[in-house]
A = this chain, B = another copy of it.
């Protein structure tokens, strides 16, 4: 038994100038429109999977386009319009649960807005990869999304001219003021993430259950999201008279968190509750507590995660966690991109997304 699963290789495929043996030159959209007795806009819509058009009309236009050997050519179109309809996405890895769920949502949202996602992998230390950015520029993306931290607009401008960056801002504890803004670039947009709400709910819940000795498993050292989560945990705990959290060094992975929790408990003794910088670290903590150390959760130790990835509801973990609404976050990001593309000179734009606690069985 033999089945086609997956790959079509364009061996000797036709180029833009057309080397198809059945035709000396490519047909134009106008030729298809004329033959199909529709407008050129209708032809364009027929080829856009996200455009609304009657199915039978689309079929007819595509049939005629097939007869004439017409395909819209994005490269040629981008030469004319200055828009490639490509968005570059640069990620350290595609396979971590949060990243994969974010890329999934982002690809859907971009595709619905008429953009294709150009995916690149980069180093995992969150530093800006200038060589890769420069390489990617060659594909003329309309926008670039990259998981980079701490790059100032001036540095960025060396590599990408005329780019308007979007800053992800964690304005949890009111230290945000004008002096903290990156002022060395002419223009930037903001995606505000309010982490405080969910973290306050989580800490209130574990405090209500009597937890006093509380540890925080950090994410990768370079991650601003993790640093900001810790800062907010610290601020909320101080405000509630809980002292400072114990620090357990993690890196967002299961194995590191599990090992670090075992070390923490064996060397410095147990804690009443653990807050993790992401759900995967919380899973590592749960397995360390239950399987390696023999503690009951939530009886002996309470565990709170961060993200609410889809695995958090799996019964073996059933994790209480601070939820970031991924669909909402991605929709806000894509709105910012589209608004900026539509109005290159508009003043600074912003969108805001929140967090909230999802209570399951680990607290």
The residues of A with any CB-CB pair to B shorter than 8 Å are 1-17, 19-20, 22, 47-49, 58, 62, 65-66, 71-79, 81-82, 84, 86, 89, 93-95, 97, 99-101, 103-104, 107-108, 111, 116-121, 129-132, 134-153, 156, 158, 160-171, 175-176, 180-182, 188-191, 224-225, 228, 231, 254, 258, 283, 286-288, 290-292, 310-311, 314-317, 333, 336-337, 340-341, 343-345
Contact = CB atoms under 8 A, between A and B. Distances in A.
Contact of A287 (B84, B118, B316): B316
A111 to B, nearest CB: 6
Nearest to A159: B66
A175 to B, nearest CB: 6
Q: Which of A71, A75, A188, A345 gathers the greatest number of chain B CB atoms within 10 Å? A: A75
Contact of A94 (B94, B162, B333, B340): B94
Contacts of A17: 79
Given A97-B95, A107-B94, A168-B5, A315 B337 contact: no
B258 A315 contact: yes
B121 A111 contact: yes
A290 to B, nearest CB: 8
Contacts of A140: 13, 15-16, 73-75
Contact of A12 (B16, B108, B162): B162
Contacts of A4: 148-153, 156, 165-168, 182, 188
Among the interface residues A4, A180, A290, which one has the most CB atoms of the partner chain B within 10 A? A4
B12 A145 contact: no
A336 B228 CA distance: 46
Given A149-B4, A167-B3, A315 B333 contact: no
Given A9-B340, A65-B134, A97-B97, 20 more contacts: A2-B167, A3-B149, A3-B169, A4-B156, A4-B165, A4-B182, A9-B144, A9-B163, A10-B143, A11-B164, A47-B138, A48-B135, A49-B131, A62-B130, A66-B158, A94-B94, A94-B101, A119-B119, A286-B316, A311-B311
A258 B311 CA distance: 13
